[in-house]
Amino acid sequence: MKYTELADDPEDAEHSPAERIAAASRSTWVSVGVNVVLTITQIAIGIVAKSQGLIADGIHSLSDLVADFVVLLASHHSKKDADEDHPYGHQRFENAASLVLGTLLLVVGLGMLWSAARKLESPETVQTVHVIALWVAGGALVAKELLFRYMLSVAKRVKSSMLVANAWHARSDAASSLVVGIGIIGNLAGYPILDPIAAAIVGFMVTRMGWSFSWDALHDLMDRAVDEQEVAAIRRTLTETPGVCNVHDVRTRKMGDMIVVDAHIEVDAAISVEAGHDIAVEARQRVLQRHRVLNLMTHVDPWRRPDLDHAPSRSTVA
């Protein structure tokens, strides 16, 4: 998964969460259509052409189809408003869905590895595949690459890291189709064992992806912070707010594709509590407008020039 496509403009706020959800829904339905066709074609032709690699790639496409529906379900539930039981909203439904998706891919990948291993234990049972399997593998490669480019363009347009992950998922699917195509070519060239080897490689790729998805989702559910670059951008927005003298203890945690932030801001100790509160409100609004932040809790601390000696003042919370 790649997130660097979004790194050039971390403060973009052109698109609202609702627009990101709508874009995710549209692109995911396109992915559903592509994966339905690929699943049926690859598995059917794989059985007829006697290609285990193509069947494995078809199962991979089937898992992608299930993943698409998981994304649609997550998008539907995550856009619900906050309620009494979920005061921060339902964005973490995406994280939970990613954990389910990762577990599914992990199980499917291990199943592929097991099936390929059984074939490799008995290489004499591997049959020569029909050339039509190669044409289907090539068509699948082209379809998945085009899907990747479409989904990545949508992700970059709405600045959604979740869609970037989905796009690179499609690119990894294209890589699996390339591996299957090479295995089929080797089989047709007189090396039948290359077809189940290709199936095993696809199984390993799916297993690795499943583990990555599960591990990342588990850490997100355990309040993992966002990367340092995004934290620095949020800190910079706070520091540039008029009236803010210093910023410290900026803490973040992910809520789906959004972020919840806690921060201490320092304001002039000589101003009133009301003025300090107004500065905190302005800082919060600027962060919410410029970043993918769901909520920001600010703690206001008094700031004094280092060369002045004053008695301690009480802090307020805004």
The answer on 52 and 91 residing in a single domain is: yes
Per residue in 260-269, pLDDT (tens digit) is 999 999 999 8
Whether residue 252 is found in the same domain as residue 215? no
Q: Are residues 43 and 105 in the same domain?
A: yes
What is the C-alpha to C-alpha distance for residues 135 and 114, in angstroms, rounded to an integer?
26
pLDDT digits 0-9 by tens, 188-203: 888 888 888 888 888 8
Q: Domain residues for 276?
A: 228-317
Same domain, 193 and 151: yes
pLDDT band at 299 (very low <50, low <70, confident <90, very high): very high
pTM of the entire predicted model: 0.65
Pair (95, 201) in one structural domain: yes
For the stretch 236-280, pLDDT in tens is 999 999 999 999 999 998 877 778 999 999 999 889 999 999 999
CATH number, position 249: 3.30.70.1350
**Shared domain check, 125 and 43:** yes
